[in-house]
Structure 1
Amino acid sequence: MAQLLTKSCFGRGGPAGPPCSLLLRAYSAGSPDTEYVHRSIVPTMHFQKSLPRLPIPKLEDTMKRYLNAQTPLLDAEQFSKTEQLAKTFQAGAGQQLHDELVSQDKQNKHTSYISGPWFDMYLCARDSIVLNFNPFMSFTPDSRPEYNNQLIRSTNMVVSAMRFLKTIRAGQLEPEVFHLAPAKSDTARFKRLIRWVPPSLSWYGAYMVNAYPLDMSQYFRLFNSTRLPKLNRDELATDESGKHLLVLRNGNFYVFDVFDRDGNIAKASEIQSHLQYILSDSAPTPEFPLGYLTSEERNTWAVLRQKLVDNGNGEALKKVDSAVFCLCLDDFPVKDLIHLSHNMLHGSGLNRWYDKSFSIIMTQDGTAAVNFEHSWGDGVAVLRFLNEVYKDSTQRPAVSPQSPPAKVDSSKAVHKLSFHLDDALKSAISAARKKFDSTMSSLTIASMEFKRGGKDFLKTQKLSPDAIAQLSFQMAFLRQYGQTVATYESCSTAAFKHGRTETIRPSSVFTKKCSEAFVSKSSRPSAAELRSMLEQCSKYHGQLTKEAAMGQGFDRHLFGMRNLAASKGLALPEFYQDPAYTRINHNILSTSTLTSPAVQFGGFAPVVADGFGVGYGMHDDWMGCNVSAYPARDVKQFVQCVHQSLEDIFKVLEEKSVKS
């Protein structure tokens, strides 16, 4: 189970923690009709009521794990001080906070101890959500080039997205379940049986056959949802009555209904016609594109949004907020993977509305990606959405390259939104644009593909592919900068009710020792010794992963106690004021992996100014990473060092393999 739950896609940790991912199974359930992606015989939320609750770790376990994670980052003197602060905290303020956290948790059995504080962490953050929070995931291209036409692919994805929406609201989306013994649990027979087990007991029925249902409480925020800027704390809004799609092109806003009054999906040929009408609109780019405001600092945006409402734009903004989702049509092709990453992660700001729960971005050559706002969830729902939409749009496309658009008057069906801007708002948009351009120009991205081997080979060596990838990042940073630094890898706790994420801390005494052994030019150990070190790294990483997946990390527990102290107006315990605590939460290496047939790759920005944002993929016969950085770091050299590290590791493994 821990293997599946290693990451929850793009769940961010700390004030701006790293994205992460969760590989979810793609399900098919019977023969779907044209209104649904499938019709599951097991109701979507069948397991939700009986999901186990997220445990709060024992305080002594949390402090032990915390000190273990600090060991490779501190010298002897620093560690001695941190260890003493930890002991004092555990015996005093920490025990009191822990006991109260446990008491509060017992009184709120409908949720998890981390859910409320985690929402607050996101919604109270005042930084721009662009780069700091919103990540992207790009769709794999359709295997048939002619279906990657911008109009054809947009139409098919919109239809498939609406099928997904209808499926989940009808309660007919297959529940998210991790099958440890699929021959027993991922079968029609088991599904026929489990649907008759009462929801209050259904989880236990799945558990008996080694199946683990996952939390699906975040899914309702996927559609018709947006983040509303408010002073000091934003709000999440969902209006399921919205039947229209929001389309952005050249900074202009368009809406048209994708459902009729009876709740049926509009004809695909009509959606195609409306999108063709938008693509052929020769209206110029607005002099003051409104989307830039969603990239602003949140309090600034909150004040400006109220000015927009006061200026007569309330109804237009309501249309934006309540749209099923946002489709961004870009009038240029993708040049290469680096251009793709920049465009899908932030773009020019002209043709985006970053506050929507998610946007599908479609370039002129049919390259597609999802950019999503992060506060409402950790991406589990987004990845399921990508998997289902990709599968449905490629296997059951609603239109083909030969399909003619419907002969309808799209000029009446498509409404172009207009916004009334006074001089103050125009000035604010110009200022936001200038700030946006300056910030985005400072971000650099580089990618790397390692073709010598991947998951298959590493598994034959009885090594964790994820552990080896993480080790390569540790080795690369040591090779480039001569340091071992705080590293973050997010792990889903979706096996629990309202679980969010926990942190895996890949930097350990084992990775430090192993990295130094590989990088050292003077006294390099033998291949057998290096192999032994690799095995130690893999074993320990597996332990950390299992602990995190079971809610037994230390980061969320410490976060919860600190949040509790702040909410009660208590003085911040000295433990939290330790420079070592600040350093371990300054995640220079923030990492996330994503592997799915529907997803080409994903990306995100560093979470600190002197960090790297490392998105990576582990495939059967190759490995790759997509890395971002600000000027403080050399991203091109880093990916070269990652490649060299993998070369060194595989050389040792191949030598051993040949001898064996």
Structure 2
Amino acid sequence: MADRMAEAHSAVAFSFSITHDGYNIDYNREVLNLVWDSGVRSWKKRIARFRNGIRNGVYPAHIQSLYILISIALGLHVAGKQVPFNLVNLILPLLPRQTALYQFIACSIAGLIFWLCICYTMRYTLKFLLMYKGWMYESRGRGSTISKRTKTWAAVTKVLSSWNTPGLYSFQGSLPRLPLPSVNETTQRYLRSVRPLLDDKEYAHMENLAKEFESTIGSKLQRYLTLKSWWSTNYVSDWWEEYIYLRGRGPLMINSNFYGIDAIYMQTTSVQAARAAHIASLLLIFRRTVERQELQPIMVQGLVPLCSWQYERTFNTVRVPGEQTDKIVHYKDSNHIVVLHKGCYYKVVIYYKNRLLKPCEIQIQMEYILNNKTAVPAPGEERLAALTAWDREKWAHIRNTVFRQGLNRVSLHIIESAAFVLSLDDEPFEFDINQPDKLDKFGSILLHGKGCDRWFDKSFTVCVGTNGRIGFNAEHTWYEFHEFYFLHWNNV
């Protein structure tokens, strides 16, 4: 059942004490079972990540092809034929003996070497193919003509990427580097973007400023970017995240965070607890799909993959305030969500015996929270989330002092490490095509609510109205630069 945050300190798994009468051992079997289940789940995820890491590391080759090459090398050696480059005979003198076991080891090493060569040849070939951008500038639709060059590129890319079913992060090692445009290209694009906003006199002045920038500090900055582009696949992502978002000292609410609304032309149910449970279950299933890398990467035209790293920080992620700059903290695992209702925070455990709770089981907990008339916010609890809507420097100071230790620190950690936050609002989210002001109110509720019922630091907060409609409020940093990478690489 859902537990109030204030009770988080009461669970003690194991205690040991020595008295005059001897020693005393006390333990909580339920808590120990939870610890055991959490450990089992953690190790399962580590094994899955290791397996997926190998699969992604050799993509587009297939791990099973290693066994085939070892078998071929072993068969050639047993048949008395020479393995290409006489590799087995070159390896055998390096081994202690030449028994059957060591001959098998030599054949395995030879097969591994050939397999790695094939893997990296396929990977860098795919990376070279993905650098081609001619497909973007050709016409689409019925009656359009596609050049032979693009057709050949598409056929080879399709065959190479279809050799093995890709996981979510399989293409990450094959994505090309973000190209660095020249200073002149940058200034010309800037001038094109501001031309509609300026009159002739203002535009002429802007042209002079652009030329001055290009001939002075621009060339110096370009050298720094060139040096950085040699060392990283994306010369802009970390700086973009740091200086555009994390160093902003203004409030996140309205200035940075954004919102999304429900499918407004359809409504599955008007029962708040049922809708909250259903959307929570779907999100947790999606999180499991991401963690297992069962989700297919997004492919443009079915050929060109997009960067998938933004999925990793969708859940279990929080933006932690700092006095000079914030930081994004991602937790590898989380076994709970946090539910906010009428100023009270509830920790809802989402696993039972190493399985995700079913929607009906989550609904029971949501109904308990909604029907709990005795719950009263602790002093300061009701408006606690308003701190995340405050100036970042001030919020960082409060966090480093008031939440430094004790129950406050434990409770804050539970919120920040949750898979996500779900807010059960006490008002309906309404939409009427004949009353546009209702949609405006819908958006404003999701954007800021009461200012104290959204945890603006979390990657996202799901909001559920009393009539069953939903929306979300999301922090901007955790995914923005990946979109920036794709748009700039494709010169959009």
Shift of 1:328: 0.5
- So what's the TM-score if we normalise by structure 2? 0.61
Q: Find the partner of 2:246 among 123, 131, 136.
A: 123
Structure-2 change in CA distance of 1:284 and 1:100 (3 Å): same
What residue in structure 2 maps to residue 317 of structure 1?
A: 412
Residue-by-residue CA offset, 1:428-471 (whole Å, 9 max, x unaligned): xxxxxxxxxxxxxxxxxxxxxxxxxxxxxxxxxxxxxxxxxxxx
Shift of 1:311: 5.7
Question: Could you say which structure has the larger radius of gyration?
Answer: 2
Asked if the contact 2:429–2:467 (Cα under 8 Å) also holds between the matched residues in 1, the reply is yes
What residue in structure 2 maps to residue 173 of structure 1?
A: 295
Structure-2 change in CA distance of 1:150 and 1:141 (3 Å): farther
Structure-2 change in CA distance of 1:142 and 1:159 (3 Å): farther
Shift of 1:244: 0.3
Residue-by-residue CA offset, 1:175-212 (whole Å, 9 max, x unaligned): 11122xxxxx4xxxxxxxxxxxxxxxxxxxxxxxxx11
Shift of 1:271: 1.1
| Secondary structure of residue in 1 paired with 2:329 | strand
Asked if the contact 1:242–1:324 (Cα under 8 Å) also holds between the matched residues in 2, the reply is yes
Q: In structure 1, how many angstroms separate the alpha carbons of the residues matched to 2:392 and 2:198?
A: 36
Q: In structure 2, how many angstroms separate the alpha carbons of the residues matched to 1:41 and 1:143?
A: 35
Alignment-mate amino acid for residue 370 of structure 1: F
Q: In structure 2, how many angstroms separate the alpha carbons of the residues matched to 1:47 and 1:357?
A: 25
| Secondary structure of residue in 1 paired with 2:239 | helix
Kindly report which structure 2 residues correspond to 1:569-584, keeping only aligned pairs within 5 A, or say none. none
What residue in structure 1 maps to residue 273 of structure 2?
A: 151
Structure-2 change in CA distance of 1:363 and 1:379 (3 Å): farther
Residue-by-residue CA offset, 1:608-650 (whole Å, 9 max, x unaligned): xxxxxxxxxxxxxxxxxxxxxxxxxxxxxxxxxxxxxxxxxxx
Asked if the contact 1:243–1:260 (Cα under 8 Å) also holds between the matched residues in 2, the reply is no
What residue in structure 1 maps to residue 232 of structure 2?
A: 108
Structure-2 change in CA distance of 1:89 and 1:178 (3 Å): same
Q: In structure 1, how many angstroms separate the alpha carbons of the residues matched to 2:487 and 2:321?
A: 24
Asked if the contact 1:221–1:238 (Cα under 8 Å) also holds between the matched residues in 2, the reply is yes
Asked if the contact 2:252–2:456 (Cα under 8 Å) also holds between the matched residues in 1, the reply is yes
Shift of 1:58: 2.0
Q: Find the partner of 2:341 among 228, 236, 249.
A: 249
What residue in structure 2 maps to residue 347 of structure 1?
A: 449
1:238 aligns with 2:330: yes
Kindly report which structure 2 residues correspond to 1:420-499, keeping only aligned pairs within 5 A, or say none. 492-493=483-484, 499=485
1:268 aligns with 2:364: no
What residue in structure 1 maps to residue 62 of structure 2?
A: none
| Secondary structure of residue in 1 paired with 2:457 | coil
Q: Find the partner of 1:295 among 374, 389, 394.
A: 389
Asked if the contact 2:307–2:486 (Cα under 8 Å) also holds between the matched residues in 1, the reply is no
Q: In structure 1, how many angstroms separate the alpha carbons of the residues matched to 2:481 and 2:439?
A: 22
What residue in structure 1 maps to residue 283 of structure 2?
A: 161
Q: In structure 2, how many angstroms separate the alpha carbons of the residues matched to 1:315 and 1:321?
A: 10
Identity, % of aligned positions: 30
| Secondary structure of residue in 1 paired with 2:300 | strand
* Greater share of residues in helix: 2
| Secondary structure of residue in 2 paired with 1:354 | coil
Q: Find the partner of 1:132 among 219, 238, 255.
A: 255
Q: In structure 1, how many angstroms separate the alpha carbons of the residues matched to 2:359 and 2:211?
A: 64
What residue in structure 1 maps to residue 146 of structure 2?
A: none
Shift of 1:151: 1.2
Asked if the contact 1:344–1:361 (Cα under 8 Å) also holds between the matched residues in 2, the reply is yes
Q: Find the partner of 1:365 among 464, 467, 473.
A: 467
Structure-2 change in CA distance of 1:500 and 1:226 (3 Å): farther
Alignment-mate amino acid for residue 105 of structure 1: S
Matched positions, count: 320
1:79 aligns with 2:203: yes
Residue-by-residue CA offset, 1:310-355 (whole Å, 9 max, x unaligned): 3621111110011000101001112421110110011112321111
Residue ranges of structure 1 left out of the alignment (5+ in a row) = 4-39, 180-184, 186-210, 381-491, 494-498, 503-548, 553-660
Alignment-mate amino acid for residue 239 of structure 1: Y
Kindly report which structure 2 residues correspond to 1:452-601, keeping only aligned pairs within 5 A, or say none. 492-493=483-484, 499=485, 550-551=490-491
Kindly report which structure 2 residues correspond to 1:624-643, keeping only aligned pairs within 5 A, or say none. none
Asked if the contact 2:240–2:481 (Cα under 8 Å) also holds between the matched residues in 1, the reply is no
Q: In structure 2, how many angstroms separate the alpha carbons of the residues matched to 1:237 and 1:142?
A: 37
Structure-2 change in CA distance of 1:301 and 1:73 (3 Å): same
Shift of 1:144: 5.5
Q: In structure 2, how many angstroms separate the alpha carbons of the residues matched to 1:286 and 1:309?
A: 15
Asked if the contact 2:251–2:389 (Cα under 8 Å) also holds between the matched residues in 1, the reply is yes
Q: In structure 1, how many angstroms separate the alpha carbons of the residues matched to 2:246 and 2:401?
A: 21
What residue in structure 1 maps to residue 427 of structure 2?
A: 332
Structure-2 change in CA distance of 1:174 and 1:501 (3 Å): same
Q: In structure 1, how many angstroms separate the alpha carbons of the residues matched to 2:266 and 2:199?
A: 53
Residue-by-residue CA offset, 1:118-144 (whole Å, 9 max, x unaligned): 111211100000000000011215846
1:278 aligns with 2:365: no
Asked if the contact 2:429–2:470 (Cα under 8 Å) also holds between the matched residues in 1, the reply is no
Structure-2 change in CA distance of 1:242 and 1:261 (3 Å): farther
Asked if the contact 1:222–1:357 (Cα under 8 Å) also holds between the matched residues in 2, the reply is yes
Structure-2 change in CA distance of 1:242 and 1:176 (3 Å): same
Q: In structure 2, how many angstroms separate the alpha carbons of the residues matched to 1:500 and 1:304?
A: 38
Residue ranges of structure 2 left out of the alignment (5+ in a row) = 1-134, 138-163, 431-437
Shift of 1:372: 0.4
What residue in structure 2 maps to residue 212 of structure 1?
A: 304
Q: In structure 2, how many angstroms separate the alpha carbons of the residues matched to 1:163 and 1:69?
A: 42
Asked if the contact 1:240–1:322 (Cα under 8 Å) also holds between the matched residues in 2, the reply is no
What residue in structure 2 maps to residue 221 of structure 1?
A: 313
Q: Find the partner of 2:181 among 54, 57, 71.
A: 57
What residue in structure 2 maps to residue 531 of structure 1?
A: none
Asked if the contact 1:360–1:368 (Cα under 8 Å) also holds between the matched residues in 2, the reply is yes
Structure-2 change in CA distance of 1:117 and 1:259 (3 Å): same
Asked if the contact 1:291–1:352 (Cα under 8 Å) also holds between the matched residues in 2, the reply is yes
Q: In structure 1, how many angstroms separate the alpha carbons of the residues matched to 2:247 and 2:313?
A: 18
Structure-2 change in CA distance of 1:358 and 1:88 (3 Å): same
Asked if the contact 2:454–2:473 (Cα under 8 Å) also holds between the matched residues in 1, the reply is no
Q: In structure 2, how many angstroms separate the alpha carbons of the residues matched to 1:135 and 1:299?
A: 21
What residue in structure 2 maps to residue 94 of structure 1?
A: 218
Q: Find the partner of 2:399 among 289, 294, 305.
A: 305
Alignment-mate amino acid for residue 291 of structure 2: R
Shift of 1:92: 2.9
Asked if the contact 2:270–2:466 (Cα under 8 Å) also holds between the matched residues in 1, the reply is no
Asked if the contact 2:277–2:359 (Cα under 8 Å) also holds between the matched residues in 1, the reply is yes
Q: Which protein has greater RCO, CA pairs closer than 8 Å, 6+ apart?
A: 1
Asked if the contact 2:319–2:457 (Cα under 8 Å) also holds between the matched residues in 1, the reply is yes
Structure-2 change in CA distance of 1:222 and 1:2 (3 Å): farther
